[in-house]
Structures are given as C-alpha cells and as structure tokens.
Amino acid sequence: MIKTQVEYSRRSPTYWNHLYQAGYRVGEPGAFERQMFRNYATLKAGMLAVDVGTGRGHMAAHMAKWGLIVLAYDFSTVAIADARANHQSCSDQLTFAEHDFTSDAIPPELSPGTVDIISCRHSFEFLDRFRFLTDARRWLTSAGVLQITTHRAKRMPPAAAHQGLRDEDIEQLRQGWRYMTTYGLDGDDTLIGIVLRGPR
C-alpha cells in the first residue's frame, strides 16, 4: 500500500509542483543529445512537434529554434510558468500549456494525423503508457516519430529505478510501430534515446 501511494504521488501535479518550487532541475540537453535527436528523428523546419512533460521547456525551445512549430505541455503549473518566462524569445514558434496526459481530455489542437514528432524527455516513465501510446499513434502522421529519452532502469540506483525503463518495457515499445531505433547518450548506455517511427 505504501509503495502504491509513493508511485501515485510521483505522477501527480502536486508532487511535481513541490519539486519545482524546491528548485528541481532536469539538466538541459547537451550538444550531443540535441544532435542525436535531430539526426535520428530527422527533424525539418516547419514540422509540428509536441513536447510532453516539457518541464522548464529546454528541449521545446531548442526545437522551436530549429524552425519547428512546438506545442509544449506539462501538468506542473510551476514548470509551465517558468518555461513561459524563460523562453519568450521563441513565442512565435512555441506554445506552452498545462495539461495532464493521464487524466485530462485530449487537447483540441491535437488532431488525428497532424503531428510530425512527439518528444518525451524524461517524462514517458510517468505516463499511463497504454493510453498515451494509443493517443500518440493517433495524433502522428503516417511517417511520424515518437522520441523518448530515458534511462535503463537496471543501471539506475534502486531508489531511482522508476526514472527509467526496464529492458522488457523497451522491447514492448516495438508493438504498434513500423520501426524502432535505440541509441546511447552516455558512455555506459545508461541514458538512451528511443525512436519509434511509423505508427500502425
């Protein structure tokens, strides 16, 4: 019962608001991570991108600077307020909004078959995976990409294993996609990128 309560709290807006208010930070994506993302997701100016669990909006801002039209969502009001304040220079290409992909109704701007790229940088682990993957495949174009940045759970300290995916979780992601690619983002393959292309 206690474990269940802890797992639930990690997926609540209140939990994340408290973390952000206390100064919680997800490191900005470095040059190598950004380049790998661009290469594997084959990003092009003019694409419509959705950044899920955007936090303070760092990856969303980079995508906007690359010429993508970006819709960035997070259910933490604190994170969204900070993202809006810190990335005003990207406002023509970037929109931040509060949204809970687990419990809220689908945003009306996410129409079926219209999204080119969905990015989940350190956020996929906290979603209702079945619902989100079903919705993501519906929103994406036939050649669309879901890009996930995460940790391998087995390489994380036991107390932080929830911040990553197990090998079996990663393998199951192949279902419902035409192609899947994984790539390492650090020396020991703890931090990885996963690209799922072509929803079916």
Task: Please report the pLDDT score of residue 12 as a whole number.
Answer: 86
Entry field: residues in the chain: 200
116 near 144, Cβ under 8 Å? Answer: yes
Q: What is the mean pLDDT of the chain?
A: 92
Question: How far is 195 from 183, CA to CA, in rounded Å?
Answer: 9
Per-residue confidence band for 100, with pLDDT thresholds at 50, 70 and 90: very high
pLDDT band (50, 70, 90) for residue 38: very high
The secondary structure of 81-144 as a DSSP string is: HHHHHH-GGGTTTEEEEE--TTTSPPPTT--TT-EEEEEEES-GGGS-HHHHHHHHHHHEEEEE
Q: Alpha-carbon distance 1 to 17, whole Å?
A: 23
Q: Is the pTM of this model over 0.85?
A: yes
Domain boundaries, given as residue ranges, for the chain: 2-199
43 three-state secondary structure: coil
Q: What is the mean pLDDT of residues 27-54?
A: 96
Percent of the chain with pLDDT over 90: 80
Mean pLDDT over residues 66-93, rounded? 95
CATH number attached to the domain at 2-199: 3.40.50.150
- Strand-pairing partners, residue 70, are 49, 94
Q: pLDDT digits over 144-196, tens only?
A: 999 999 999 998 888 777 888 999 999 999 999 999 999 999 988 899 999 99
Question: Distance of CA 160 to CAs 22, 23, 116, 120, 154, Å?
Answer: 18, 18, 31, 18, 10
